[in-house]
Amino acid sequence: MGGLEAALEATEERVDAALKATAAVNRELKKAKTCVQKGQLRDLRRALSAAAVLAGDGARAAEDAVESFDFDEQEHLESGSYSQELLDTAAAQDVAMFAADERLLCYPSLIKVLPGDAAVEIDRRRERRLRPSVLVGLLAAAQDGRLDFGPSLSWRALSPDTTWCGLRSSIARVRWCDWSTCGVC
Based on the structure, what is the number of domains in the chain? 3
Residue 183 lies in a domain: no
Could you give the CA distance from residue 119 to residue 30 in angstroms, rounded to a whole number? Answer: 41
Residue 184 lies in a domain: no
Does one domain contain both 64 and 77? no
Q: Do 54 and 28 form a contact (C-beta atoms < 8 A)?
A: yes
Does one domain contain both 26 and 89? no
Does one domain contain both 62 and 86? no
- Write down the pLDDT at residue 118: 87
Distances in Å between the Cα of 105 and the Cα atoms of 7, 44, 45, 63, 150 are: 25, 62, 62, 39, 23
Q: 10-residue block means of pLDDT along the chain (185 residues)?
A: 83 93 94 92 92 93 90 86 89 88 85 88 88 89 63 46 45 46 50
- Write down the pLDDT at residue 14: 93
Does one domain contain both 107 and 170? no
Does one domain contain both 82 and 62? no
Task: Let me know if 146 is exposed, middle or buried by CB neighbors in 10 A (0-12, 13-18, 19+).
Answer: exposed
Q: Which residue type occupies 103?
A: R
- Which one of 14, 47, 68 terminates a domain? 68
- Write down the pLDDT at residue 104: 87
Does one domain contain both 156 and 173? yes
Domain region containing 155: 151-178
Does one domain contain both 9 and 45? yes
- Which one of 48, 68, 88 terminates a domain? 68
